[in-house]
Chains A and B, each alone.
With several copies, the nearest count.
Chain A
Amino acid sequence: MKKIEAIIKPFKLDEVKDELNKVGVQGITVSEVKGFGRQKGHTELYRGAEYVVDFLPKVKLEIIVTDDVAEKVVQTIMNTAKTGRIGDGKIFVSNLEDAIRIRTGERGKDAI
């Protein structure tokens, strides 16, 4: 099994979720994160002094899939989340040893 983590722009979330759904992904875990990268942050202003907000709001998706669909999921995210502008985000793939469904105790592929 693979764990796919994707950092994307927040407003793309709904679209990505819908597309992933279409390619058969049954579960996603999402969290709000702040990203620091090539994309520059913006300057805020308060009572006469400026300060740079480096960290931009991003959304992180974690998706556990079986090895065979991993690439399709990566491609789907890539195509959907892409705006072509800096800050579109990253996808990271790593290996997962085991998965368990708490409700049933199923393990491995069955648990996804």
Chain B
Amino acid sequence: MILKKYFYVVLILLALTTFGVVGAFAEEAVQQAAQKGPSLDEIVSVNKIALDTIWVLITAFLVFWMNAGFALVESGLCRAKNTVNILAKNFIVFAISSIAFYIIGWGIMFGDGNPFFGIQGLFLLTGADNSPATGDAYKGVYSAINWTGVPLYAKFFFQLVFAGTAATIVSGAVAERIKFISFIIFSFVIVGIIYPITGHWIWGGGWLAKMGMFDFAGSTVVHSIGGWAALAGVIVLGPRIGKYTKDGKVKPIPGHNMSTATLGALILWLGWFGFNPGSTMAADANAIARVALTTNTAAAAATLTATITAWLMLGKPDLSMILNGTLAGLVAITAPCAFVSVPSSLIIGLIAGVIVVLAVVMFDKLLLDDPVGALSVHLINGTFGTFALGLFAEDRFMPGTTGNGLFFGGTKLLIAQITGIIGVGVFTFLISIVAWYIIKAVVGLRVSEEEEIIGLDIGEHGVEAYHIVGGEERI
């Protein structure tokens, strides 16, 4: 058992160093812009590039910061005895994403290729590229993302933090029972392969993009994908011991630290101001201001309706439901944020907040044990948001892109949206099921019953998260 563990970590280590060394002596793709004696004209456009780049980087930092949000929400809503494990998962997942997306993910997603995946410039960002040149001036192999005039590394970094999010979503749903090593492996797979493939379909110029599907900041590309992979994981893993009685009744397992969970949700809310407005990938004043406002309005509205729904339906304003409500609003507005009006964003948020509460209850009815509500937030509302874009989009905001949604006279868009939802869902769910089963067969998926009872902290990491009570540390 122990040896098996070693074997795999050594494998990873080898792979990493190999790729590192290979990469180190591969030619770098980024063209250094020659800058001697610039004309006024050039300075202006350098200013524009710099402006766009700092916007892209700063918003990317905000999205990176969401890792802290996910870590705290998940650990806060789970039990103290699994805290170290959850924190470790959430912490290491971004490191894994960084490497996996660098090695292969980016190339599959944005490399020129066929409608299903990228083929050129596949590994280590080594394809030809003359960013920040845009449009026709762009000569390189990552042409699907040539619309933004920032350096390649800025594009990569921004996309990387998004890729990291998808894996993190899975973490929450499979918490408190998955083996550490198995989660690590799945994270490599989702960020290196699964996410980039469907990402290619929509953002990489693939078949859904061609069909006219839109997803501004990733309700589907990021959130639903994470959600489908999580659903597969939840099914393969089964519920935590003690979550459901034999006759299917729910026995709540309360979160151990609502302070950190709430802080986490606030971090996510903040991070979303990077996620959505940053997805312009350019400092377009009107667009970013509008996106910031639609994002916030949906979040606020969903917070209120989730509160009210929980209060009326369940009897009390459950804080964990309030937090889920906000996140639901944020996920739902992610696809449509740039294409809809502020009042529309308000309505989308109002609905999302109700949906998420119902979804949490529903998943429990289905005995699908999702400790943090990741499915209700990311899968259900990612889907809802993608759909809502087909209803509420208005052509006037980004003329020549989405066209109008159903409520404003268009139908084509909605059909494309539904196709995207189904296509991505079926593919991601199936490939994830396969991935989970392979991991299960090879290294196993779930910790032992004894370890689950005593806690994964002691089992997987040999340490406890808290020594807070006065005398304890003196014992």
- A/B touching: CB–CB < 8 A: yes
**Which of B310, B357, B474 has the most chain A CB atoms inside 10 A of its CB?**
B474
Instruction: Kindly supply a per-residue 1/0 record for chain A positions 39-81, scoring 1 wherever the CB is within 8 Å of any chain B CB and 0 otherwise.
Output: 0001111111111000101110000000000000000000000
A47 near B471: Cβ-Cβ < 8 Å: no
A48 near B464: Cβ-Cβ < 8 Å: no
B475 near A55: Cβ-Cβ < 8 Å: yes
List residues of chain A with CB within 8 A of the CB of B316.
Answer: 45
Chain A interface, >50% SS class: strand
**Which residues of B, 244-302, contact A by the 8 Å Cβ criterion?**
250-255
Judge if A25 is at the interface, Cβ distance under 8 Å: no
Interface size class of B (residues with CB under 8 A): 20 to 34
B462 near A47: Cβ-Cβ < 8 Å: no
A34 near B475: Cβ-Cβ < 8 Å: yes
**Which of A10, A49, A59 has the most chain B CB atoms inside 10 A of its CB?**
A49
Interface size class of A (residues with CB under 8 A): 20 to 34
List residues of chain A with CB within 8 A of the CB of B310.
Answer: 48
A11 near B321: Cβ-Cβ < 8 Å: no
A45 near B314: Cβ-Cβ < 8 Å: yes
Expressed in whole angstroms, the Cα–Cα distance for A49 and B251 within the complex equals: 7
Expressed in whole angstroms, the Cα–Cα distance for A57 and B473 within the complex equals: 11
A46 touching B474 in the complex, CB below 8 Å, given contacts A11-B453, A32-B469: no
A10 near B314: Cβ-Cβ < 8 Å: no
Expressed in whole angstroms, the Cα–Cα distance for A76 and B399 within the complex equals: 75
B360 near A45: Cβ-Cβ < 8 Å: no
Expressed in whole angstroms, the Cα–Cα distance for A49 and B314 within the complex equals: 8
List residues of chain B with CB within 8 A of the CB of A44.
Answer: 252, 254, 458, 462-464
Chain B residues in the interface with A (C-beta under 8 A): 250-255, 310, 313-316, 318, 320-321, 357, 360-361, 364, 373, 453-454, 458, 461-464, 469-472, 474-475
19 contacts between A and B (CB under 8 A): A11-B453, A32-B471, A32-B472, A34-B475, A44-B252, A44-B254, A44-B462, A44-B464, A46-B463, A47-B320, A48-B310, A48-B313, A48-B314, A48-B318, A48-B357, A48-B360, A49-B251, A51-B252, A58-B471
4 new A-B contacts, CB < 8 A, other than A13-B474, A43-B462, A45-B315, are A13-B475, A45-B318, A48-B314, A57-B471
